[in-house]
Amino acid sequence: MMLYDPMTENVHILNPSSRFLWEHLDGHHELEDIERKMQLHFTIPESINLEIFLKFK
């Protein structure tokens, strides 16, 4: 997936995990739901706390 920023004319290419987040961080999904779906989609063990990454700004 590519994102184009018309203000800067920059193009950003998203890797699979970034694309997943872009598609789910839409204001309709709860953080815990995104974390659970991401763990299932990418086969990430539950012992890895994705909340740290999802709150990164």
What angle, rounded to 10 degrees, do the helices at 31-41 and 16-24 form?
150
Supply the pTM of this predicted model. 0.69
Q: Which helix (H) or strand (E) holds 34?
A: helix 31-41
Beta bridge partners of residue 12, listed in sequence order: 3
Beta bridge partners of residue 11, listed in sequence order: 4
How would residue 2 be classed by pLDDT, with cut points 50, 70 and 90? very high
Q: Which helix (H) or strand (E) holds 2?
A: strand 2-5
**What are 10's two structure tokens?**
């920059």
Per-residue pLDDT of 16-31, as tens digits, reads 999 999 999 999 988 8
